[in-house]
Chain A
Amino acid sequence: MKRLFTILLLAFSLALTAKYPDPASILRAIDANTRFTSLKSTTRMVIKSRRASRTVSSINYSKGDNSFFSEYTSPPRDKGTKMLKLGGNLWIYNPGTDRIVQISGNMLNQSVMGSDLSYEDFMEENSLLQDYNAVIEGEATYDKREVWNIMLTAKRKGLSYPKKRIYVDKERLLPLYEQWFSSSGKLLKTVRSDQVSRIGNRWYPKHVVFKDELKEGSGTDYYVDSIAFDLKIPDAIFSKGSLKK
Chain B
Amino acid sequence: MIFKLAFKNILGYGWRSLINVFIIALVLIGLIWMEGMWFSWLNLAKTQSTQWEFGGGLLRVKSYDPYDVFALEHSHAPIPAQAGNLVASGEIVPVLFSPAVIYPGGRMQNAVVKGIPSQQSLLRFPSQALMPTEANPYPAIVGKTMAKSAQLQEGDAFTIRVKDSSGAFNAVDLQISQIMDCPVPSLDQGTVWMDLQALQDLKQLPGMATTLALRDQSLASVASPEFKLIPPNEFFADLNQMVKTKASGQASLFVMMIFLAMLAIFDTQALAIFKRRREIGMLSALGMTKARIILLFTTEGALYMLGATVLTAVMGFPLFWYFARIGFSLPKGYDSFGVAGFNEALKFVYPLPLILFTLMLMFLLTVFVSWLPARKIARLMPTEALRGK
A positions within 8 Å CB-CB of B: 104-107, 109-111, 154, 157-162, 182-184, 186, 188, 212, 214-217
B99 is an interface residue with CB less than 8 A from chain A:
yes
Instruction: Give chain B's interface secondary structure class.
Output: mixed
B181 is an interface residue with CB less than 8 A from chain A:
no
Q: Are A162 and B99 in contact (CB under 8 A)?
A: no
Mask for B98-111, Cβ within 8 A of A = 1, else 0? Answer: 01010101111010
With A161-B169, A183-B170, A214-B106 known as contacts, the answer to whether A106 contacts B204 (CB < 8 A) is no
Q: Are A105 and B73 in contact (CB under 8 A)?
A: yes
Whole-angstrom distance from the CB of A123 to the nearest CB of chain B?
Answer: 11
Between A104, A105, A183, the greatest number of chain B beta carbons within 10 A of the residue's beta carbon is seen for A183
Residues of B121-144 whose CB lies within 8 A of A: none
B166 is an interface residue with CB less than 8 A from chain A:
yes
Whole-angstrom distance from the CB of A202 to the nearest CB of chain B?
Answer: 29
Of all chain B residues, the one with the shortest Cβ separation from A157 is B166
**Pairs A–B under 8 Å by Cβ, sample size 14:** A106-B72, A109-B163, A157-B166, A157-B167, A160-B169, A161-B169, A182-B168, A182-B171, A183-B166, A183-B168, A183-B169, A184-B202, A214-B103, A215-B108
Q: Complex formed: what's the CA distance from A158 to B73 in Å?
A: 14
Q: How large is the interface on B (under 10, 10 to 19, 20 to 34, 35 or more residues)?
A: 20 to 34
- Interface residue from A109, A110, A160, A183 paired with B204 (Cβ < 8 Å): A183
With A105-B99, A157-B167, A214-B159 known as contacts, the answer to whether A110 contacts B110 (CB < 8 A) is yes
Of all chain A residues, the one with the shortest Cβ separation from B160 is A214
Q: Are A106 and B167 in contact (CB under 8 A)?
A: no
Whole-angstrom distance from the CB of A58 to the nearest CB of chain B?
Answer: 22
Q: Are B166 and A162 in contact (CB under 8 A)?
A: yes
Q: Are B110 and A154 in contact (CB under 8 A)?
A: no
Q: Are B171 and A214 in contact (CB under 8 A)?
A: yes
Q: Find chain B residues with CB under 8 A from A184 CB.
A: 170-172, 202
Q: Complex formed: what's the CA distance from A157 to B167 in Å?
A: 7
B322 is an interface residue with CB less than 8 A from chain A:
no
Q: Are B73 and A214 in contact (CB under 8 A)?
A: no
Q: Complex formed: what's the CA distance from A83 to B172 in Å?
A: 32
Q: Find chain B residues with CB under 8 A from A216 CB.
A: 105-107
Whole-angstrom distance from the CB of A106 to the nearest CB of chain B?
Answer: 4
Residues of B57-109 whose CB lies within 8 A of A: 69-73, 99, 101, 103, 105-108
Between B99, B168, B172, the greatest number of chain A beta carbons within 10 A of the residue's beta carbon is seen for B168
Q: Complex formed: what's the CA distance from A161 to B172 in Å?
A: 15
With A183-B164, A212-B108, A215-B108 known as contacts, the answer to whether A106 contacts B170 (CB < 8 A) is no
B161 is an interface residue with CB less than 8 A from chain A:
yes
Q: Are B73 and A106 in contact (CB under 8 A)?
A: yes
- Interface residue from B110, B161, B168 paired with A214 (Cβ < 8 Å): B161
Q: Complex formed: what's the CA distance from A105 to B69 in Å?
A: 8
With A105-B70, A105-B73 known as contacts, the answer to whether A154 contacts B168 (CB < 8 A) is yes
Whole-angstrom distance from the CB of B359 to the nearest CB of chain A?
Answer: 53
Of all chain B residues, the one with the shortest Cβ separation from A110 is B110
Q: Find chain B residues with CB under 8 A from A161 CB.
A: 168-169
Residues of B163-205 whose CB lies within 8 A of A: 163-164, 166-172, 202, 204
Whole-angstrom distance from the CB of B174 to the nearest CB of chain A?
Answer: 12
Whole-angstrom distance from the CB of A212 to the nearest CB of chain B?
Answer: 7
Q: Find chain A residues with CB under 8 A from B106 CB.
A: 214-217
Of all chain B residues, the one with the shortest Cβ separation from A184 is B170
Q: Find chain B residues with CB under 8 A from A182 CB.
A: 161, 168-171
Of all chain A residues, the one with the shortest Cβ separation from B203 is A183
Q: Are A186 and B103 in contact (CB under 8 A)?
A: no
Q: Are B172 and A160 in contact (CB under 8 A)?
A: no
With A109-B101, A214-B161 known as contacts, the answer to whether A186 contacts B172 (CB < 8 A) is yes
Of all chain B residues, the one with the shortest Cβ separation from A181 is B169
Q: Complex formed: what's the CA distance from A160 to B71 in Å?
A: 19
Mask for B335-353, Cβ within 8 A of A = 1, else 0? Answer: 0000000000000000000
Between B101, B159, B168, B169, the greatest number of chain A beta carbons within 10 A of the residue's beta carbon is seen for B169
Q: Are A188 and B169 in contact (CB under 8 A)?
A: yes
Q: Complex formed: what's the CA distance from A105 to B73 in Å?
A: 7
With A106-B73, A109-B101 known as contacts, the answer to whether A158 contacts B166 (CB < 8 A) is yes
Q: Find chain B residues with CB under 8 A from A110 CB.
A: 110
Q: Find chain A residues with CB under 8 A from B108 CB.
A: 111, 212, 214-215
Q: Are A109 and B99 in contact (CB under 8 A)?
A: yes
Q: Complex formed: what's the CA distance from A106 to B190 in Å?
A: 14
Whole-angstrom distance from the CB of A6 to the nearest CB of chain B?
Answer: 37
Of all chain B residues, the one with the shortest Cβ separation from A180 is B169
Q: Complex formed: what's the CA distance from A216 to B108 in Å?
A: 9
Q: Complex formed: what's the CA distance from A144 to B161 in Å?
A: 34
Whole-angstrom distance from the CB of A25 to the nearest CB of chain B?
Answer: 26
Whole-angstrom distance from the CB of B160 to the nearest CB of chain A?
Answer: 9
Q: Find chain A residues with CB under 8 A from B169 CB.
A: 160-162, 182-183, 188
Q: Find chain B residues with CB under 8 A from A188 CB.
A: 161, 169, 171
14 extra A-B contacts, CB within 8 A, seeds A105-B70, A214-B103, A215-B103: A105-B73, A106-B72, A107-B70, A109-B99, A109-B163, A111-B108, A161-B169, A162-B169, A183-B164, A183-B166, A183-B168, A186-B170, A214-B106, A214-B108
Q: Complex formed: what's the CA distance from A105 to B71 in Å?
A: 7
- Interface residue from A109, A159, A214, A217 paired with B167 (Cβ < 8 Å): A159
Q: Complex formed: what's the CA distance from A175 to B108 in Å?
A: 27
Q: Complex formed: what's the CA distance from A214 to B167 in Å?
A: 19
Q: Find chain A residues with CB under 8 A from B71 CB.
A: 105
Q: Find chain B residues with CB under 8 A from A154 CB.
A: 168
Q: Complex formed: what's the CA distance from A186 to B172 in Å?
A: 7
Q: Complex formed: what's the CA distance from A12 to B208 in Å?
A: 47
Q: Find chain A residues with CB under 8 A from B105 CB.
A: 216
Whole-angstrom distance from the CB of B41 to the nearest CB of chain A?
Answer: 33
Q: Complex formed: what's the CA distance from A107 to B69 in Å?
A: 9
Q: Find chain B residues with CB under 8 A from A105 CB.
A: 69-73, 99
